[in-house]
Amino acid sequence: MALIKDILRTMDYGPSPESSEHVLSWLERHKAGFGLFINGRFTNPGALFDVFNPATGERIAGATQGSPADIDAAVTAARRAQPKWAALSGYGRAKHLYALARHVQKRERFLAVLETIDNGKPIRESRDIDVPLVARHFYHHAGWASLVDSEFPGTRPVGVCGQIIPWNFPLLMLAWKIAPALAAGNSVVLKPAEYTPLTALAFAEICVEAGLPAGVVNIVTGDGATGAALVAHAGVDKIAFTGSTEVGRAIRKATAGTGKKLSLELGGKSPFVVFDDADLDSAVEGVVDAIWFNQGQVCCAGSRLLAAEGIADAMYAKLRARMAKLRAGDPLDKSTDVGAIVAPVQLERIERLMREGAAEGLDFWRADDVLPNRGCFYPPTLVTGVEPASILAREEIFGPVLVASTFRTPDEAVALANNTRYGLAASVWTENVNRAFEVAARLKAGVVWINSTNLFDAASGFGGYRESGFGREGGREGLIEYRAPDAPKGKPYPPAAAPLIASPGLTPSQESAGGLDRTAKLYVGGKQTRPDSGYSYAVLDPRGNEVGLAGLGNPKDVRNAVEAAAKASSWGAATAHNRAQVLYYVAENLSARAGEFARRLRTMTGASARAAEAEVETSVRRAFFYAGFADKFDGAIHATRSRFVTLAMNEPWGIMGIVCPNEAPLLSLVSLVMPAVAMGNCVVVVPSSLHPLSATDFYSILDTSDVPAGVVNIVTGETNALAATLAEHDGVDALWYVGDHPGAAKVEALSAGNLKATWLTTTQPDWSRAEGREFLSRAVQVKNIWTPYGE
């Protein structure tokens, strides 16, 4: 028997297994296979697929392969249950969520062991991190259930939510999805990952034990085909998906034009930035938590180490020493640091990517540790000498592999960190608070941890920028994903008008006849420019009389406008006060020329003098409204459980496309453009195709109001054709479209390229009332910055 003094001298660990007796007994009771959970009860097992323990390779259960008919039955049950669930008082829903949290806590050890056996993660992670966070989410959202009606006025539950979760955090992702959906008054059909369905099925038992009404939560197991059937089902009002970017892109295309609300939490290649003044020992422990937590199978894993050149060698040496102490092995051993990869196919993917990295001549380092001779294991690996173009620096490995490179200046660090199509998370290590916040503000990531990593809480939103998806999970910004505006009262937009008839541009002598320029130009980069095509089209009044010519923009003009907007990115860095002053100036100048704009509206649209004057006056007031909000649309500080100040910062998307309708041509343009630029975005605007001259007159207001060149760009022409170009453009970060349903569907489908966020309006709003916080919230994305605070 080893003596304590010898153990303290060598620090050798003995085995410390967690008992799995209760879980094995539960699995034995279900050895005939698990059915589906529909309408409050389990179905008989159907066609089964095997579920394996990744640490041993042994079959541990069989789960039913859900069919389209099963999805239909689950959606039908959810549809039937949702109105009664939504009609419960907030207090009533809160009691159910509270009961779920209590029952999770009562079965905490069972759930932790089951998660480890099913997923392969170390028991101390599932026991100390995952399951407590599951309970936290249900407790937190029990509070939201009783507050949602007062805190989100003018909204209603979305309806039936289809939810698809991944295999890396099976039970925690279930809680992230189900808790806010139920709190907001929705019912749920959830599909867990094929590899890891067991804790979801155990949670279904908890729903019965806790007395949740039948049909409010339904769980259908199966593979990707089952998920596809859920996405395609016409009875689903919202899809919430966590998984790969490739599948997320396919879901975006599949839901285009269906009216389904969509939130996507996708892949990542998160930077872990260490400056030369950082506490290296703390940073090394941060790396362990960033990339070897859950074997690196974390969408926000800090998989790219960016170390200041002066401390890189010291950092690598400390990392190698720490890696030598990591224990890989039996996930049920409480002393294990690195568990098993979830499945052979995932292990094969890691090994393939590493072979490709080796072919590039990269340097690998692994500790001399013996892995188990069965199961799916991969050793913790450090890869150095990695160039930005390396496949290992670009692709999400989703394994215990850290790729490292160096930088010399903070600007270079930010450039390298942002050199990815993803934008889920980042970690910044420095003792300089000014540098920490300056870098955090410049990183294109939805979550930034300062001198910390992989911190999560139900009170704080989590989600990405760019191809890491859109929407948030957790906190106030996560709950709004499960609410919808009250049903619109306007009429649907009619189909787009026939294609515009192009005519050659006028010659300079014709343009200047009578001293007036009758051909309205495009407005790109602060300048009036001719369309690339050289063509214009006639603008007609309601009687068919020509009142002017407008440029017929094409995709090249849109690309030029996006480039001009990119050059004006400093607008987003300007203070909110400065943006407000510019917008006040726009409002003042528009007011000074109100008579001129009213006459233009009357000539183009045939509106009465009173109606035209009212539209201009409302446009002026709307510009003043958003000027006033420019420095008042605040973020928040989330009250998380950890001793951190978690700052929820509203940040502009960057470059926004805005497609305006034909009615209220001046007011609709001002109502859409002003909130976007007030929040710091640069915009490319497609104005009314039938009545574009109010927009082309408006650029003379911009010219005289100190609006920087490129902040607002106007491209006239055929609305839906230009909208499609904006949707396809990877340089456009978000797109607002107001128009007919076919155009909206096309915008959604084409936006899947870079997964830009879209806001679509296919019913005619009352533009005299179309203002408020929703426009501002749609013009920003939330970045959550976690900063250590207090003891």
**Catalytic site residues?**
265, 299
Phi, psi of 234 (to 5 degrees): -70, -20
Distance of CA 175 to the CA centre of its chain: 18
Rounded to an integer, what distance in angstroms lies between the CA atom of residue 192 and that of residue 172? 11
Q: Which of 605, 748, 590, 719 is nearest to 659 (CA)?
A: 719
Backbone dihedral region for residue 514 (phi beyond 0: left; psi -120 to 50: alpha; all else: beta): left
Instruction: List, as one string, the DSSP characters of 41-91.
Output: EEPPP-SEEEEE-TTT--EEEEEE---HHHHHHHHHHHHHHHHHHHHS-HH
Q: Determine the residue type at 639.
A: A
Rounded to an integer, what distance in angstroms lies between the CA atom of residue 738 and that of residue 676? 15
Q: Which of 173, 791, 761 is nearest to 492 (CA)?
A: 761
Q: Hey, which bits of 527-625 come out as E strands?
A: 527-529, 535-540, 546-551
Nearest-5° angle of CA 593, CA 597, CA 603? 150
Residues 125/81, Cβ–Cβ less than 8 Å: no
Q: Which of 337, 326, 341 is nearest to 374 (CA)?
A: 341
Q: Determine the residue type at 472.
A: R
Q: How many CA atoms lie within 13 A of 478 on its CB side?
A: 30
Burial of 374 (0-12, 13-18, 19+ CB in 10 A): exposed
Rounded to an integer, what distance in angstroms lies between the CA atom of residue 695 and that of residue 770? 18
Contacts of 777 (CB under 8 A, 6+ apart): 480, 650
Rounded to an integer, what distance in angstroms lies between the CA atom of residue 531 and that of residue 92? 60
Burial of 103 (0-12, 13-18, 19+ CB in 10 A): buried
Residue 504, strand partner residues: 535
Rg (CA), the chain: 28
Rounded to an integer, what distance in angstroms lies between the CA atom of residue 534 and that of residue 512? 17
Tokens, residue 217 = 């939560």
Long-range contacts of 243-251 (CB under 8 A, 24+ apart): 243/164, 243/165, 243/166, 245/396, 245/421, 245/422, 245/467, 245/468, 245/469, 245/755, 248/469, 248/755, 249/752, 249/753, 249/755, 250/752
Tokens, residue 105 = 């806590």
Tokens, residue 550 = 């407008």
Phi, psi of 760 (to 5 degrees): -115, 135
Contacts of 418 (CB under 8 A, 6+ apart): 442, 443, 444
Distance of CA 578 to the CA centre of its chain: 29
Rounded to an integer, what distance in angstroms lies between the CA atom of residue 778 and that of residue 706? 25
27: helix, strand or coil = helix
Contacts of 352 (CB under 8 A, 6+ apart): none
Rounded to an integer, what distance in angstroms lies between the CA atom of residue 248 and that of residue 241? 7
Contacts of 231 (CB under 8 A, 6+ apart): 162, 164, 239, 251, 254, 255
At 106, which helix (H) or strand (E)?
helix 90-106
